[in-house]
Amino acid sequence: MHWVISPTLISNINSPGGDVFEGIAIFNALKNQGATITVYVDGVAASMASVIAMAGDTVIMPENAFMMIHKPWGFSGGDAEDMRSYADLLDKVESVLLPAYAQKTGKTTDEIAAMLADETWMSGAECLAHGFADQVTPAVEAMACIQSKRTEEFKKMPESIRNMITPPRNSAPRDTTVTIPAPAVTEPSPVPAVSDEATIRARVMAEQKARMSGINDLFAMFGGRYQTLQAQCVADPDCSLEMARERLLNEMGEPPRVSWRVFYL
């Protein structure tokens, strides 16, 4: 990452969150710049995005923008001792994040911890009242849409925010079936066998291309850290995207990786 020396930095946030350790790195990088930082929450700053927002000397939100804070969340596998160790790690992560909120808001860490446990959603005005924001601007008529699969992960998401978050482009579209009269049935003309073979071959090639593209997109999120496993998954025609996810999770099993409810696997 390359930084431009400037007395002021402006950050616009519209995000449902991200990896906790990457978020901590962004927060620290902003705080260490020695610049005056202004953060604009354009639509939503949820989960780890809300921590990054706390790096702002001034946080500005429209009245209809939202911020959400909650407890760290993740996944792990193993025996009872492994799970207990993982729970301890999640507690440590929370203890690292609490000061970021407390320093910005002036609240105690106990007060912040209670808000995290309750998955607290706040409008711009509520963020101003609780110290998470410094200025509130008039409501924006239309805010940028977020493509995310995270809608189901948040238990208390306001409907106005849920409507902003749309499924990614590769998600199944909503059913828009229109009933029309059935056309007259006619016998199809026989198709030569060679055409069938060509169609099947084209379909198989298209499926393999989509499989490899999905696997490469999955591993791209980890910055080339698992290139050997990626190559193995791509080269194996029987390795589906789901199988690649499972192999990746197994590879990441030690040490466990903690997420802030945001690990897209």
47 catalytically annotated? yes
Q: Are 233 and 243 in contact (CB under 8 A)?
A: yes
Single out the catalytic residue among 2, 6, 11, 47. 47
Distance CA 128, CA 124 (A): 6
Which DSSP string do the residues of 26-68 spell out, in sequence order?
HHHHHHTT-SEEEEEEEEEEETHHHHHHTT-SEEEEETT-EEE
- Give which of 39, 33, 51 is closest to 13, Cα–Cα: 39
Q: Cβ distance 139 to 64 under 8 Å? A: yes
Axis crossing angle, helix 227-235 with helix 241-251, rounded to the nearest 10: 150
Catalytic-residue membership of 130: no
Q: Choose the catalytic residue: 2, 6, 50, 70.
A: 70
**Cα 262 from Cα 265, distance rounded (Å):** 9
Cβ contacts of 151 within 8 Å, gap of 6 or more: 157, 162, 165
Is-contact 8 35, C-beta < 8 A? Answer: yes
Nearest to 44 by CA among 124, 99, 106: 124
- Supply the residues annotated as catalytic: 47, 70
